Chains A and B, each alone.
Chain A
Amino acid sequence: MGMMTKRRRQQLLAELKYNKGIFVALAFLLVIALLSIFAFLSPYDPDAIDMLHRLEGPSGSHWFGTDDLGRDYLTRILYGGRISLLVGVVSMLISTLIGVTIGTVAGYFGGWIDNVLMRLVDILSSIPWMVLVTVVSIFLKPGLQAIILVIGLFTWMGVARLVRAETLSVKEREYVLYAKAMDQKPLFIILRHVIPSVLPTIIISATGDIASAIMIESSLSFLGLGVQQPMSSWGSMLNRAQSLLDRAPYMAIVPGVMIILTVFSFNKLGDLIRVFVEPKAIER
């Protein structure tokens, strides 16, 4: 990315001025990250059952009410956010790592290596992700690790395609040709020259991947295939809320709104980064 030129700074400021929603998004992400880190400061224990105060609506002492076991819903939302964000970030890291490796190797070496790897990408993208991810999830013991692995291992195809396409053009640049002529090792060239050049693409797609991982996790957990009790994520809280919809609609509303705000904010953050690293992309 290099130094931030004056022109870029101006463009960034212009974007911030044009797109004020970004401030809200960034503020929300910061707040939700801090809240889930410091969730333990809540006066309530997320797992403390209180049968005398079941399904109480939002009030002064329980801001988001209580669930069917009398647990403070706000505290559970914060702990659930921890899980949702953790799944989002860690599975993004896994899928980015795989995608970047496959994409750069395929693009840099070309030939049969490229052919084999891209056919693999074709095959995996031909199976609808919902089917693929659910099928793989039955082979693993359900839980946090399984869901992170399933999402991380089977959502890297998009990054791989993007990175490969960029690598194809980067490897024709003179500094890469020079490094090759100097007989430097391919691994070194990829790490030292290719990856830094495709970094902007990687960062943009990684931000979007956090958002989509959170969405996938919530769908799977909603279907009962993701995070298992007593641990809960926003998706599994919605699963539980479904049977209580008639009596406690707030139990469905709150986690849903949290998912929307979080995913929306990550997408906005992605837009901002796009402006920052790809100034050409914002011609309006």
Chain B
Amino acid sequence: MLRYTVKRILQAVPLLLLISVICFGLMQLAPFDAIDALTTPDMAPEVVEAMKARVGLDQPVPVQYIRWLGRMLRGDLGYSIVTHLSVSQGFFSRLPNTVLLVLPSYAIALLIAIVLGLVAGSKRGGVADKIIDTLCSIGMATPTFWVGMMLVYLFGYKLRLLPILGMHTMGMDSSTSDLIRHMILPVTVLTLGNLPSTIRFVRSSAISQYSEDYVTVQKAFGASRAQILFRHVVKNVLLPVITLVGMSLPTLVTGAFVTESIFSWPGVGTYFLTAIQGFDYPVVMTVMFFSSVMVILGNLLADLAYALVDPRIKSMG
């Protein structure tokens, strides 16, 4: 196991480095310098040059890259070109807000998907399977933001039941129940968005388990459907779900972009989109780099967890 772990980590490191090169390269190609965040157009050129020298912008690009990487690793992400505020502060103050939306919605979606996926997969081609499959097909074709708009119209404008903007009502910043009321719609949108693909995943995993020999043997011994399902199939169906959970790690950062934008939720998504519109490269690159790190980390964790529960993997990998 240790050898496998080390091997997988060693594979992830060069990938991370290359992605950091891409992030840095894009920042270099961008029409603004990081120095523009600190200077104004009416400063004398000599002053600007001196400032550039002080932050190291007069150095060759590879040297700048190494220094930038070092600062990133120490958690110094630079300053926003637009707001001149620290990027690490901005990023890490918004991250919990995104996690607050993504984590519950993902957990709910996973629970519903495991139940519906098992129902659909255990009687393939049955009425329940057909209904669930059709709903999944429609769900896969539905843009998340459109679901959001429909819910906003229905619950926000028509029924006037739920708040549709932001995290808190003015003046109620510390009220938890107010926060939960604000969370209901975005969490619902995200849950619905995650459901179809997760159900399909569990369903196909269940179908492949039902075609295994041990199911046939159990049937031959006269086990009931319920016995086969709960004693044997569920356990094996949940294994691949571990992979799914691992691969969903990056959605903690980027999973709610569009949803946040509809509900003006102050998370990483709105932070990123505002930065994109304002050409705020340090912010854009930070989000890009962090979300890629999460993808690689998620894949790594999924592989390791899977190898832990299914020892066949590491002997192959």
Contacts and interface: CB of A to CB of B under 8 A. Distances in A.
A105 interface: no
Given A21-B134, A127-B291, A252-B150, A215 B143 contact: yes
Given A135-B288, A138-B284, A256-B146, A126 B141 contact: no
Contact of B276 (A134, A235, A241): A134
A126 B157 contact: no
A126 B296 contact: yes
A146 to B, nearest CB: 14
Q: Give the secondary structure class of A's interface.
A: helix
A268 B133 CA distance: 12
B257 A126 contact: no
A267 B19 contact: no
Nearest to A220: B258
Interface residues of A, number: 43
A135 B19 contact: no
Interface string B244-288: 000000100110011001100000000011001101000010011
B145 A128 contact: no
A123 interface: yes
B29 interface: yes
A210 interface: no
A241 B262 CA distance: 12
Interface in B24-52: 26, 29-30
B23 to A, nearest CB: 9
A267 B137 contact: yes
B261 A223 contact: yes
B276 A225 contact: yes
Contacts of A260: 138, 141-143, 146
23 contacts: A122-B15, A123-B15, A125-B295, A126-B296, A127-B288, A128-B291, A130-B257, A131-B288, A135-B26, A211-B141, A215-B143, A218-B143, A222-B145, A223-B258, A223-B273, A224-B277, A238-B145, A242-B149, A245-B153, A259-B146, A264-B137, A267-B137, A284-B124
Interface of B: 15, 18-19, 22, 26, 29-30, 124-125, 134, 137-138, 140-146, 149-150, 152-153, 157, 250, 253-254, 257-258, 261-262, 272-273, 276-277, 279, 284, 287-288, 291-292, 295-296
Can you list the 6 inter-chain pairs with the closest CB atoms, starting with the nearest? A263-B141, A264-B141, A256-B146, A128-B254, A246-B157, A126-B295
